[in-house]
Amino acid sequence: MLDFIPFIRFSLLLTITPILISTNGCAHPLKSKSLTNTHRISYPSIDTELGEKLQPNENILAEQISVQIEQRIRTQYTAGHALRDAHPKAHGCVRAEFHISKSLPTNLAQGIFIADKTYSAWIRFSNASGDATQADNKNDARGMAIKILGVPGKKIMENDDQAMTQDFIMINHPVFFVNDPQRYLSFIEDVNSKSMFKKLQIPFALGFQGTINAVRANNSKISNPLQARYWSMVPYQLGLANQRQAVKYSARPCTQHLTPIPNNPSHDFLRIALRDSLEKDDACMEFLIQPRTSNKMLIEDSMTEWKESQAPFYQVATIHIPKQVFDTPDQNTFCENLSFTPWHSLPEHKPLGAINRLRKVIYEKISTVRHEINAVPRKEPL
């Protein structure tokens, strides 16, 4: 196990997870209050028929994890502008169109997936590292967060149930590095500890497979955010009542063309690559759904990939990213004020599994505290 320690940048491991992708803020610690006392979030119910299993003290552990992260945010940003706790470095936030396929399979025509319908969207591409100053040529997971606009219907998130948005959150790795809340809390505590001894315990907190997954996710290099493939890692419900099923999501480029990483890449070369691509031409990506094909593909196991050979992906939408100039002060500020959570969702796309249940509490609490600290209104775009 100790052989993995040299390959893990302990201060970055926390940031490879989409569980922390949302929110931003700015710090005035003396004026802020703990979310534990001011902003209660109802814990999600489970769907036993789809295979969800509530783990012991999940809701309590979710609160403890969110408090740990909140404390780190308040300590890190005691002055100046505070960024997201994870995925703080954006390569860009771009306008897009999300067009549902005309030939959508009937069993996948649920929720927002209405044949031949087109939605406007925002997409945020990012590094995963919590270090916003990290150079883009460093190994790191990469994030793609999609916010679909103009989605009618009551949403799951109580505080945003009238929002007209549906979020999809992905990174460029197919599996997560932890399954259960207790192990995740231990990981967070070790990461936040000032003790090197505690940091050396991180691989033990994650376990063998968790450490392997973390190293692999954190070992990525890409040449352009538009040319990477992204996965939801964790499962979601698709449909309601007797039509509901468990699925995962993915997004990939429409073509397999890959530009090489520059020999001497600049510090922000991924932003430059994204900017240059969209100043010259439109971009295209495919949005895919992977229906579960066996009950052996466990809802609560986010560390094991659903093999495509056993559960194929189906293209259900095309993401058209038009030629545009996105790298402006106003658009960058707008992007930083967005919050992404899979619980900005119609019931037809309810997040499944323990990691997603934790997300509901953590995302909402951290989003609230960051916007409160930054004195920025927290609202969904129209």
pLDDT of residue 86: 79
Residue among 381, 341, 373, 350 nearest 21 (CA): 341
CA distance 30 to 27: 9
Measure CA of the first residue to CA of the last residue in the chain; give whole Å. Answer: 49
- Per residue of the chain (382 residues), give pLDDT as tens: 333 223 334 333 433 333 333 333 332 322 333 333 344 678 999 999 999 999 999 999 999 999 988 888 787 776 667 777 778 899 999 999 999 999 999 999 999 999 999 999 999 999 988 888 899 999 999 999 999 999 999 999 998 999 999 999 999 999 999 998 999 898 888 887 888 888 888 888 899 999 999 899 989 999 999 999 999 999 999 999 999 999 999 999 999 889 999 999 999 999 999 999 999 999 999 999 999 999 999 999 999 999 999 999 999 999 999 999 999 999 998 988 899 999 999 999 999 999 999 999 988 888 877 787 788 888 899 8
Specify the amino acid at residue 51: G
Tokens of 255: 């073509």
* pLDDT attached to residue 28: 31
- Residues ≥6 apart with Cβ < 8 Å to 367: 22, 23, 339, 341, 378
Alpha-carbon distance of 337 to 333, in angstroms, equals 6
Q: What is the pTM of this model?
A: 0.88
- 378, 304, 305, 296: which is closest to 336 by C-alpha? 378
Q: Is 115 left (phi over 0), alpha (psi -120 to 50) or beta?
A: beta
Contacts of 76 (CB under 8 A, 6+ apart): 82, 85
∠ CA 1-58-356, rounded to 5°: 80
No. of helices (H) and no. of strands (E), the chain = 9, 9
| Whole-angstrom distance, CA of residue 73 vs CA of residue 87 | 13
DSSP reduced 3-state for 11: helix
Question: What CA–CA distance (Å, rounded) separates 338 from 345?
Answer: 15
Strands (E), 20-116: 90-100
Q: Would you tell me the crossing angle of helices 202-217 and 181-192 to the nearest 10 degrees? A: 90
Give whole-number Cα distances, 261 to 183, 216, 227, 268, 277, in Å.
36, 19, 12, 12, 14
- State the residue for tokens 């095309």: 318
Give dist(CA 196, CA 198) in Å, integer.
Answer: 5
**Which spans in the chain are helix H?**
10-13, 35-38, 58-76, 181-192, 196-199, 202-217, 269-280, 329-336, 354-374
All domains of the chain, ordered by start, with CATH? 58-374 (2.40.180.10)
- What is the per-residue pLDDT for 10? 39
